Each structure stands twice: as structure tokens, then as C-alpha cells.
Amino acid sequence: CALSALIVLLAVFPVPSYASGVPSLPDESLLTDPIWARQGFEGLATLFLNRTRYLLAFEVDHRRGILTGKARVLYVNNSGAPHSEVIFRLYPNHPVHQGRRMRVNAVSVNGAPTSGQIRDANGTVLA
């Protein structure tokens, strides 16, 4: 069973006016078609077809220390049991990172908007 989730990650809130916008994600077919494998390495790519895969698109503002982006995740459930949720770890929100924050603005499952919920006091567990 594959569960596809789109998460928009913003490292700062609100998005400053100087940000030019979140870049577009690569074509979704890249999650399921191993065309990304270099010639001669196609066999290695097929080993990952039953693994969770990510498409990422980010804009980095080094001067201000801001990362803005999107992630599309193809979650592959290899447990043999159905899952009612998928957990994402927002590690930058942990106090050890001294005030850095990762904010999720939108979550969708199989293209349908849904609400992600923070499950811990530090804001590091999103379900």
C-alpha cells in the first residue's frame, strides 16, 4: 500500500516579502518510475521501488538563514499491517536547535487536503 503525502515546509513564519516563492516540485511520476537512474544503473534503481521516496524543491536564502520548500513523499507501507497515519519528524523544532523552527503549512494525502497534527510539546512529531 502506498500513501502519498505532500507537505509544504517553511522554516520561518510569515514568509518574508523578499522570498521569491516556493519552487515547483519535479514531476510526480519520478516517484514511481526509476527513470532517474543513470544509464547502466537501472537495476539498482529498481531496488528502491518498494521504499519510501521523496521529491524535494527548496529555495535557500543563505544571507537570512531561511529555507522555503515543498516535499512530496511516496510512503510505502512494508509492514503488512494498515496504517492510519504516517509520522514525520520535524527535528529543527527541538529545543537543542536553539530557536530554529520548521513549519508545515499544508498536508494532503493522495491529493486530498488533510490536517496534520503536532503530537508533542516541542512540535517535533507531525502525524
pLDDT digits over 100-127, tens only? 888 888 888 888 999 889 999 999 999 9
- Give the pLDDT score at 126: 93
pLDDT digits over 58-85, tens only? 888 889 888 888 888 888 899 999 998 9
Whole-number Å distance between alpha carbons of 2 and 108: 14
Residues in the chain: 127
Q: Residue 16: is its pLDDT beyond 50?
A: no
Neighbours of 8 (CB within 10 A): 17
Q: Residue 10: is its pLDDT beyond 80?
A: no
Segment 6-15 mean pLDDT: 43
How many domains, the chain?
A: 1
Give, in order, the Cα–Cα distances in Å from 58 to each of 3, 15, 47, 76, 82: 22, 14, 27, 23, 31
Phi, psi of 105 (to 5 degrees): -90, -30
pLDDT digits over 17-58, tens only? 444 567 787 777 777 666 666 677 767 767 777 888 888 888
Say if CB 29 and CB 74 are below 8 A apart.
no
- Give the pLDDT score at 40: 74
Q: Which domain holds residue 90?
A: 2-126
Q: Residue 5: is its pLDDT beyond 50?
A: no
Whole-number Å distance between alpha carbons of 29 and 35: 9
- Give the pLDDT score at 64: 87
pTM above 0.75, yes or no: no
